[in-house]
């Protein structure tokens, strides 16, 4: 556990870093680790907002008790039941058996399923308030951001938003806890990767949450992962608003699948032609070497997407097929699409990429390019057309 920090007034941050875990949700790589955060409000009544993942720290409950300075814990507010935030609930109940658990009807179904707890439950509805004395908390239901039971807690008094997974980020807190203590450029990429892979599928629900918060003054945003935003919360609010609208930068990501280098050569040729048109934001990835979470992050970032696949058993390359299936599942919208590939016998890569285009509904900037055999100068004419068409869209 890290040393508790005062956020503002009577609100304190408690958190821990996890540098041992390799995969978040056993899927997403954590090269920079991950941080878990929760919050304690010490008022006439005391309230703990969420907990952390079990096993990350052996001293979590002791830290809560130390911060309470001999007082009891009156309320445990559960914004999200995923176990990286609810992992210490049982330990808290054991230490404070009279604590009142605050959540919604869907919250309590999972509480019972996990721990058999059916008593001392305070069910709240959308917009309902709870007074702790000086602090008045308002509960905002935000289903599917990113589980059906998720909600946010808004401190009306200090205008602090306890946002759960929303506005979070991958990456440990290396010294700095608050946004005015960190170099945000270091976190931004991991914040977008977190959003695009964990929350992105529910982007429309994020927008619904924004509508509920429209006009509500927010002086601080307290998520359960990543930095706490106490100085410039409009930065993270603005980023999530833009990402959830699927707005993108005028750049292009080229992702290819190549067994023997032919399709890779085509990718490099297309990228060079796009660069000659003045486009500077160009990224190329081998689908076999770059983790899918990074590919999704790049697609969320850039307006242009060019996919290339060699043929593989009359289909597209399996890892490219996996990527396209994930993109369809996530429902990414509003991208400009280019398709290319190569084959030696009867093809299949580009043919199946066309099916992906029909399913995803993105704008196809030019006719797909399917090169037979080794790419040569005379075969690159179609590639040039694709590159020029994409560059024009990005300009």
Q: Where are the domains of the chain?
A: 5-244, 253-394
pLDDT reading at 121 higher than 90: yes
pLDDT value for 16: 96
* Backbone phi and psi for residue 307, each to the nearest 5 degrees, phi listed first: -115, 135
Q: Find the mean pLDDT for residues 322-348.
A: 94
Average pLDDT, the chain: 96
272: left (phi over 0), alpha (psi -120 to 50) or beta: alpha
Query: Distance between CA 298 and CA 335 in Å, rounded?
Result: 12
Collapse the DSSP code of 27 into the 3-class scheme (helix H, G, I; strand E, B; otherwise coil) and give the result: coil
Query: Distance between CA 149 and CA 82 in Å, rounded?
Result: 10
Selection from 291, 332, 334 nearest residue 202 by Cα: 332
Query: Distance between CA 363 and CA 365 in Å, rounded?
Result: 6
Render pLDDT for 285-304 as a digit per residue (tens, 0 to 9).
999 999 999 999 999 999 99
Residues whose CB falls within 8 Å of the CB of residue 199, separated by 6 or more in sequence, listed in order: 145, 146, 165, 166, 206, 244
Q: Find the mean pLDDT for residues 59-79.
A: 97
pLDDT reading at 55 higher than 90: no
Query: Distance between CA 241 and CA 229 in Å, rounded?
Result: 16
Grade residue 345 by pLDDT with cuts at 50, 70 and 90: confident
Query: Distance between CA 221 and CA 64 in Å, rounded?
Result: 21
Output the CA torsion 21→27→33→36 (10° steps): -90
The superfamily CATH assigns to domain 5-244 is Ribonuclease Z/Hydroxyacylglutathione hydrolase-like (3.60.15.10)
pLDDT value for 111: 95
pLDDT value for 27: 93
pLDDT reading at 234 higher than 90: yes
Q: Find the mean pLDDT for residues 298-316.
A: 96
pLDDT value for 37: 97
Q: Find the mean pLDDT for residues 252-262.
A: 96
Selection from 362, 338, 363 nearest residue 350 by Cα: 338
Tokens 């878990």 — which residue?
36
Residues whose CB falls within 8 Å of the CB of residue 145, separated by 6 or more in sequence, listed in order: 164, 165, 166, 199, 202, 205, 206, 209
Output the CA torsion 347→353→356→357 (10° steps): -120
Return the structure tokens found at 326. Answer: 């994930």
Render pLDDT for 242-253 as a digit per residue (tens, 0 to 9).
999 999 999 999
Q: Find the mean pLDDT for residues 193-209.
A: 94
Query: Distance between CA 340 and CA 383 in Å, rounded?
Result: 8
Query: Distance between CA 190 and CA 200 in Å, rounded?
Result: 14
pLDDT reading at 109 higher than 90: yes
Residues whose CB falls within 8 Å of the CB of residue 278, separated by 6 or more in sequence, listed in order: 391, 395
Question: From 3.30.70.270, 1.10.3720.10, 1.10.150.130, 3.40.50.360, which CATH number describes the 253-394 domain?
Answer: 3.40.50.360
CB 387 within 8 A of CB 369: no
Grade residue 58 by pLDDT with cuts at 50, 70 and 90: confident
pLDDT reading at 346 higher than 90: no
pLDDT reading at 145 higher than 90: yes
């Amino acid at each position: 556990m890290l040393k508790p920090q005062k956020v503002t007034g009577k609100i304190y941050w408690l958190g821990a870093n996890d540098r041992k875990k390799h995969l978040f949700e056993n899927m997403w790589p954590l090269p920079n680790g991950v941080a878990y955060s929760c919050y304690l409000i010490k008022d006439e009544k005391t309230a703990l907002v969420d907990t952390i993942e079990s096993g990350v720290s052996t001293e979590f409950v002791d830290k809560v008790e130390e911060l309470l300075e001999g007082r009891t814990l009156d309320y445990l507010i559960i914004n999200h039941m995923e176990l990286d935030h609810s992992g210490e609930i049982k330990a808290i109940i054991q230490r404070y058996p009279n604590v009142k658990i605050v959540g919604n009807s869907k919250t309590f179904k999972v509480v019972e399923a996990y721990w058999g707890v059916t008593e001392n439950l305070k069910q709240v509805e959308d917009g309902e308030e709870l007074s702790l004395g000086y602090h008045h908390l308002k509960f905002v239901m935000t289903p599917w951001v990113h589980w059906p039971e998720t909600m946010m807690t808004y401190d009306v008094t200090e205008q602090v938003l306890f946002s759960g997974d929303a506005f979070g980020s991958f990456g440990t807190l290396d010294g700095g806890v608050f946004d005015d203590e960190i170099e945000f450029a270091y976190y931004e990429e991991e914040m977008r990767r977190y959003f695009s892979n964990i929350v992105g599928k529910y982007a429309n629900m994020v927008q619904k949450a924004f509508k509920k918060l429209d006009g509500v003054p927010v002086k601080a945003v307290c998520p359960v992962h990543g930095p706490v935003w106490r100085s410039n919360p409009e930065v993270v609010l603005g980023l999530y608003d833009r990402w959830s609208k699927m707005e993108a930068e005028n750049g292009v990501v080229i992702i290819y699948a190549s067994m023997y280098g032919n399709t890779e050569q085509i990718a490099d040729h297309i990228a060079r032609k796009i660069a000659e048109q003045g486009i500077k934001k160009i990224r190329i990835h081998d689908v076999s070497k770059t983790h899918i979470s990074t590919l999704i992050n790049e697609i969320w970032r850039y307006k242009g997407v060019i996919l290339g696949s060699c043929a593989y058993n009359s289909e597209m390359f399996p890892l490219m097929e996996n990527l396209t299936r994930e993109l369809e599942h996530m429902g990414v919208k509003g991208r400009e699409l280019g398709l290319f590939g190569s084959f030696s016998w009867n093809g299949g890569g580009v043919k199946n990429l066309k099916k992906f285009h029909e399913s995803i509904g993105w704008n196809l900037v030019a006719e797909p390019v399917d090169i037979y055999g080794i790419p040569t100068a005379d075969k690159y004419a179609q590639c040039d057309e694709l590159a020029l068409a994409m560059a024009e869209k990005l300009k």
